[in-house]
Structure 1
């Protein structure tokens, strides 16, 4: 097995770019909601991504066959993935990008807590516990801050639900037979399962169309092809080169970029509470990702 290397200049540049891509995607989701209802938009995005991922997996000669023990867990993962993005897309429709992103990108906090409870080899050290406490305080501060007229408590709660769903999906890849399945294949199955489920559910959330324009169609293509398709394929490639902990440490940049982009591109009001929440979450995630785990026992 080739030893994975520490982050170099290329890795730092591309991972920073990927964090910026994810943050800009939040803005695109918000803008595209003016043309397509949130759940309908999410379903179309998964359908587009499934096509891109299938083409890439076939081109690489990767097997799509799942071990019998993993098939049921792939379905569970796909359904949680569906629930996660239904919650996130509705959250972004209800509340601001800056608020939703600070809460949504707290996912490493909840994953770290779950790993501490259920993965004996990943108990949290004192420094990581401090990081978790800071990040959780940041999420609470973001949800309590009502200084923005665009804020929505329901939107904030749904962003938190989406973060918990994301952590559940990540945890399943660690504690179930999905560990034997290629990450790109897992993502394909999540897209294939989520697309029809969300498209079936979409009419229950109101009208599917909201005066769609060419820019909204471009937003859909960007989400499905550039982000969920090609973007995550490239991220998986980086994960195969660099240490996972180093790659994960760049996740703290996404909420930072999201708050800045929401302010710059959408003219969102970002009150002191949100800036404070952002600082707490960012510092907390850095501590959680960079400090070594305490050995079990």
Structure 2
């Protein structure tokens, strides 16, 4: 199968996983710009959740439109509701409700550091669910190195104080549900089409997020401008493409080898925030990028073949 060959080739994995991380990283500055354009304050959690609901609902509709365009069926696939509902509940609904609530009471520094824990949760969950995806010393070493890069990103702005309360617990819970949803997506993709699964889980999660946000902020509290509409369309597009890329590369590879790429998200977020928001780009970010890249290499490096074993494999 051509798709499997692409997404199991080292270059295909690198392109897909890094591409998804880059798109998700770009969401941070664009969301900030959107909030400024729509005058959504830091403490307006319901308005933020409503905006997220509109984003994911539109992302789902974009995927469904693409499926129609290429002649794929968008009709209900019998027996799929339970799997789609599980993923929508965790990967979209619970992750983003807890994320926005937690971020409203925490700092950006701690938010970026805690966001890096998704990789840990994914690998721990996969360790329990897949016999061939166990945690090894090599994976653990790569995780530690990669997470060190996320910590460097977080403290590079000069803020090193650490607080832990309800907001931080919500952020950790959000990352857990995100990791759980990702692993469940891999499991369900064994029997469901990636585009179908991704679109309907996002549609379900987006509609419920919109309802929660509207309950607290009103049905349409925003004064839309062309700039705001364009940014919403971009955010929906990156969600659609990012989740399709990520779910596809997860389908064909071990969770433990792919999860490391999630550490790139805050690194890309810092780079793109410097570009789009004129925020300072500290030299430590380059160190962070190096650490994350090093962690990815450690996790994905093939174990060396012992010399004796190699000799035994040679023809006499």
TM-score w.r.t. structure 2 length?
Answer: 0.70
2:234 matched to 1:219? no
Counterpart pick for 1:86 among 90, 93, 97: 97
Q: RMSD value over aligned CA atoms?
A: 4.2
Q: Secondary structure at the match of 2:190?
A: helix
Q: How big is the shift at 1:103?
A: 3.2
Corresponding position: 1:169 with 2:181: yes
Answer yes or no: is the 8 Å Cα contact 1:46–1:195 preserved in 2.
yes
**1:245-284 correspondence runs (5 A):** 250-268=261-279, 283-284=294-295
Are positions 1:192 and 2:193 aligned together?
A: no
- Deviation of the 1:284 alpha carbon: 3.8
**What's the offset of the Cα at 1:167?**
0.8
- Note the C-alpha offset of 1:149: 9.9
Is structure 2 residue 185 aligned with structure 1 residue 183?
Answer: no
In the other structure, the counterpart of 1:295 is none
Matches within 5 A, 1:124-143: 124-135=135-146
Name the SS for the 2:76 alignment partner.
Answer: coil
How has the CA–CA distance of structure 1 residues 150 and 129 changed in structure 2, closer, same or farther, with 3 Å as cutoff? closer
Distance in structure 1 (CA, Å) of the matches to 2:246 and 2:150: 28
Aligned residues: 287
Unaligned runs of at least 5 residues, structure 1: 293-297
* Mapped partners of 1:191, 1:169: distance in 2: 12
Q: Deviations over 1:217-259 (max 9, x none)?
A: 22111111x21234544x2697499967887665443322112
The 1:11/1:282 distance shift into structure 2, 3 A limit, reads: closer
Select the residue among 225, 228, 232 that pairs with 2:239. Answer: 228
Structure-2 separation of matches of 1:94 and 1:31: 20
In our comparison, the structure showing a higher alpha carbon Rg is: 2
C-alpha separation between the residues in 1 aligned to 2:87 and 2:29? 26
Which residue of the partner structure matches residue 58 of structure 1? 68
Which ranges of structure 2 fall in alignment gaps of 5 or more residues?
Answer: 41-46, 304-316
Superposition deviation, residue 39 in structure 1: 0.4
Partner of 2:23: 21
Q: TM-score, normalised by structure 1?
A: 0.74
* Corresponding residue for residue 54 of structure 2: 44
Displacement of 1:287: 3.3
- Tell me the secondary structure at the aligned position of residue 120 of structure 1: coil
> In structure 1, what is the equivalent of residue 312 of structure 2?
none
Given that residues 24 and 265 in structure 2 are in contact (C-alpha distance below 8 angstroms), is that contact kept between their aligned partners in structure 1?
yes
